[in-house]
Structure 1
Amino acid sequence: MDTIRDEEKALHIVMFPWLAFGHMIPYLELAKLIAQKGHKVSYVSTPRNIQRLPKLPPNVAPLIKFVNLPLPKVDNLPENAEATTDIPYDVVPYLKNAFDKLEKPFTHFLETSNAGWIFHDFANFWIAPTASQLGIKCAFFSIFTAPTMGFLGPVSVILGDEPGRTKPEDFTVAPPWVPFQTTVAYRYFEIIKTADILSDKILGTSDLHRYGLSIQNSDFILIRGCTEFEPEWFQVIQNIHQKTVLPAGQLPNTEFDSGHENDSWPRIKEWLDKQPHGTVVYVAFGSEAKPSQEEVNEIALGLEKSNLPFFWVLKVRRGPTDKVVLQLPEGFEERTKGRGVVCTDWVPQMKILGHMAVGGFLTHAGWTSVVEAVQHEKPLVLLTYLSDQGINARVLEEKKMGYSVPRDERDGSFTSDSVAHSIRLIVVEEEGMIYRENIKNMKDLFVNIERQDKYVNNLLSHLTSLLKH
């Protein structure tokens, strides 16, 4: 652990991410890096989420304090549902409703916290005014990448103060505030699936509105990403928001192995050990994305047609109240027995991606999964579902790090043949060599200890200097 110099005062930073593991985990990774420098972090979430977070390494555990805020009960939110992974997609607005009711208990915590800074997410846009009254500064820590933030545009457009996008097609082209040629934009079917970020008929505050206010009321913007990987997008954000914008680094996963081996890993490893080197397709769509039954059928038949070994983590439902339970096509498991594994439980993704047998990753393009793939040099086959995944996919396509499964532009449908072709291209075909090479070439930009350390030092210097003003 780094020690703080005598003339420096230890910072106390409160972190409060949105209740999705794709948000909570990067926040925790940054908390660990800050604690390594001798600073104190209060990490705020709900009791069940905190229990499910990875264990802290002993060297930082004394400096990271978990603050449990019980989630208030609200209508239509099932018992014990504390994260997006616990509920069907259409129930998530009620989780946001409960999350908003944490404002009062969070304020009570702040009043006695003696904190200097709060790092908050897009959902808790209500933090900044309270923090300001208490003399605490706020940073909007975005786990959305720089291209996503740049594409979404200035606060005036986001909040509707200036004319902006009025129809889905407007999101399928690069916006006027991006001054360079780029293919980074949503495809029509992606923006239609994500249309709920633009309006919230249930509770009145859309995700886009929350996001805009989070930026507007922050002292500066901190972004998961690195300026060497996407410098032009960081410049766009600086231009449109006229605020200090700092990179937090890619925050690669540093899961602490406490010695308590996950029960499933020895069996998974035994199966992987028997597969030819670099041939297994790992298939997983994160904690939130859930394909439709039709999509599951095409993915399954595509894996079968690819003739490659596969390990598929299939989330058959989002929480116990999800009435739509996904099924595999009839006879699929018998026909692929020995060549493929379908797992419906949690698996140690980092260990699987790190295995030599895995040759490619069929993913939803969630950024945490992307970073984990680059950490282990696994090229990507992309099948987007929600939120920022479409923008992430365009960036990966542009940089030839990933190949998107061909889909119908209007409804996003795809065929088993396109799945099989995409997988074989990325894992074994000569034509896909560029993707396999580029993933290896990008690894240093994603997993470089010195660069990550520099970003954290710059961040801490900035926090300290602003507290002096």
Structure 2
Amino acid sequence: MQRKTKMEDTRERVMHIAMFPWLAMGHLLPFLRLSKLLAQKGHKIFFISTPRNINRLPKLPSNLSASITFISFPLPPISGLPSTSESSMDVPYNKQQSLKAAFDLLQQPLTEFLKCSSPDWIIYDYASHWLPPIAAELGISKAFFSLFNAATLCFMGPPSSLIEDFRTTPDDFTVVPPWVPFQSNIMFRYHEVTRYVEKTDEDVTGVSDSVRFGYTIRESDAVFVRSCPEFEPEWFNLLRDLYRKPVFPTGFLPPVIEDDDDTTWVCIKEWLDKQRVNSVVYVSLGTEASLRKEELVELALGLEKSQVPFFWVLKNEPSRPEPQIPDGFEERVQGRGMVHVGWVPQVKILSHESVGGFLTHCGWNSVVEGLGFGRVPIFLPVLNEQGLNTRLLQGKGLGFEVPRNEREGSFDSDSVANSVRLVMMDDEGESIRGKAKLMKSLFGNRDENIHHVGQLVDWIQNTSPK
């Protein structure tokens, strides 16, 4: 009987992997998608979060329910944070640091769980800067899973610059950093970072996001990136130089369309079915971004002026019980435009054949979902890394950014209307539409994305010390 080689034996061993995402749906869902792919390869997953967040996740398919175990830790109470607030979508943007302070208090229950379960690896998010030393002490291998693309990570810089937190004013973020050795347009506009800097001035945890990123990257054994070198080769090469450690693409982790036909989708689909193919622009600015009242008015009037069919999603905001859109707006656009307040099945909407464009805040999750179906993006970045994503995509001819005042970020209804018409209808936008449709084969190609995860799994199996 032929004996197995050491490598063959390692590859067949079932690994136990803990997943610990940040408390935001745009982070929880990609972590769950990666968890499913790891489970499909035969590994056991502990998916760790809080009760409400776990309940918000889609149900596991029956073939994976035995391989993925949800571990629920109640979010510790903290002054000023409502007891029902367990996700970034539950709190205003200026209260995000309070949510991080509560998140940091999960350190004790997580440590106790890791001691008892002793997984081979823990894959964590940017916010848990305190986790790597704990994992190292317990002999657990550790990886930082970035839900930001390689270009954004390169702009942020090497761990040392993040930990030193040397960029302190908005103007510091509006130039290409010195460690980028090639020509680049990846930088913020002034208005895109002012809210970020204002937020960190009120940092109740004493630890800025920059420092969190710095430690989670520096203390990791490897970094996994939700992107691929086929899309941004120069940025992956630079990232490996900056980090001096293994950097692996996970691919884009395109979402799978869930089969359940909830009542919300039934109503939306009925409206979309009445529209022409590729005629509708889907408008959604994510779960965290909030436009000012005057910006909402200009966006509404711009959609009205465009004469393009649209489906506009507005999020529920306790501070704004009534949507701040112009009086009579819905009546004037009736039949051509639809406004929905609250949650929608975004992936199903983007997959519908009547949707051709996507007016988006350009969060990476939404970018992946939109380009995965070949939808043409219209960019209206608001905060976080959204401006960097916008520069990256527009630099590749993928989409069009609504013109704005660079200092204040203001825009008017004409700039919205003209942008929507250009992308959806005008001859000038033909090349943009063509390039976006080509991206479907890259962003939405599940086989290619699974290939990246397969290479990642081979590496972690062969480097795991257990």
CA distance in 2 between counterparts of 1:193 and 1:380 reads 23
CA distance in 1 between counterparts of 2:388 and 2:172 reads 14
Structure 2 residue identity aligned to 1:177: W
CA distance in 1 between counterparts of 2:8 and 2:335 reads 58
- 1:146-161 equivalences under 5 Å are 146-160=150-164
1:449 CA drift (Å): 2.8
Q: Which residue matches 1:281? A: 281
Moved more, 39-48 or 324-333: 324-333
2:421 is aligned with 1:424: yes
1:200 CA drift (Å): 4.8
Structure 2 residue matching 1:65: 3-state secondary structure = strand
Structure 2 residue identity aligned to 1:299: L
2:302 is aligned with 1:302: yes
Which ranges of structure 2 fall in alignment gaps of 5 or more residues? 1-6
Maintained 8 Å contact 1:316/1:327: no
TM-score under structure 1 length normalisation? 0.95
1:255 CA drift (Å): 3.8
CA distance in 2 between counterparts of 1:386 and 1:180 reads 26
1:188-237 CA distance string (max 9 Å, x none) = 11111222575553221101111101111111111110011001111111
1:354-374 CA distance string (max 9 Å, x none) = 112112110000111111111
Structure 2 residue matching 1:50: 3-state secondary structure = helix
Moved more, 15-24 or 448-457: 448-457
- 1:5-84 equivalences under 5 Å are 8-84=12-88
Q: Which residue matches 2:186? A: 184
Structure 1 residue identity aligned to 2:383: L
1:173 CA drift (Å): 1.7
Moved more, 119-128 or 266-275: 266-275
Structure 2 residue matching 1:414: 3-state secondary structure = coil
Q: Which residue matches 2:443? A: 446
1:326 CA drift (Å): 3.6
The partner residue of 2:212 within 198, 210, 213 is 210
Distance 1:61 1:256, change over 3 A: farther
2:258 is aligned with 1:256: yes
CA distance in 2 between counterparts of 1:452 and 1:334 reads 44
Q: Which residue matches 1:358? A: 355
Maintained 8 Å contact 1:297/1:328: yes
Superposed CA RMSD = 1.7
Q: Which residue matches 1:120? A: 124
Structure 2 residue identity aligned to 1:282: Y
CA distance in 2 between counterparts of 1:82 and 1:217 reads 26
1:407-431 CA distance string (max 9 Å, x none) = 0011100000000000001111110
CA distance in 2 between counterparts of 1:443 and 1:139 reads 29
Q: Which residue matches 2:3? A: none
Structure 1 residue identity aligned to 2:247: V
Maintained 8 Å contact 2:169/2:197: no
CA distance in 1 between counterparts of 2:450 and 2:261 reads 29
Moved more, 271-280 or 359-368: 271-280
2:103 is aligned with 1:99: yes
Which ranges of structure 1 fall in alignment gaps of 5 or more residues? none
**Percent identical:** 49
Maintained 8 Å contact 2:94/2:199: no
Structure 2 residue matching 1:330: 3-state secondary structure = coil
TM-score under structure 2 length normalisation? 0.95
Structure 1 residue identity aligned to 2:275: Q
Maintained 8 Å contact 1:404/1:422: yes
Distance 1:75 1:277, change over 3 A: same
Q: Which residue matches 1:242? A: 244
Maintained 8 Å contact 1:122/1:211: yes
The partner residue of 2:380 within 383, 386, 391 is 383
Structure 2 residue identity aligned to 1:395: L
Distance 1:286 1:366, change over 3 A: same
Maintained 8 Å contact 2:168/2:197: no
Q: Which residue matches 1:393? A: 390
1:348 CA drift (Å): 1.3
Q: Which residue matches 1:312? A: 312
Q: Which residue matches 1:90? A: 94
Maintained 8 Å contact 1:54/1:255: no
2:264 is aligned with 1:267: no
1:23 CA drift (Å): 0.7
CA distance in 1 between counterparts of 2:198 and 2:120 reads 35
1:96-126 CA distance string (max 9 Å, x none) = 1110000000011111112010001110111
Structure 2 residue matching 1:461: 3-state secondary structure = helix
1:382-416 CA distance string (max 9 Å, x none) = 00111110100101110111111000011100000
The partner residue of 1:455 within 434, 452, 455 is 452
Q: Which runs of 4+ in 1 moved over 6 A?
A: none
1:6 CA drift (Å): 5.8
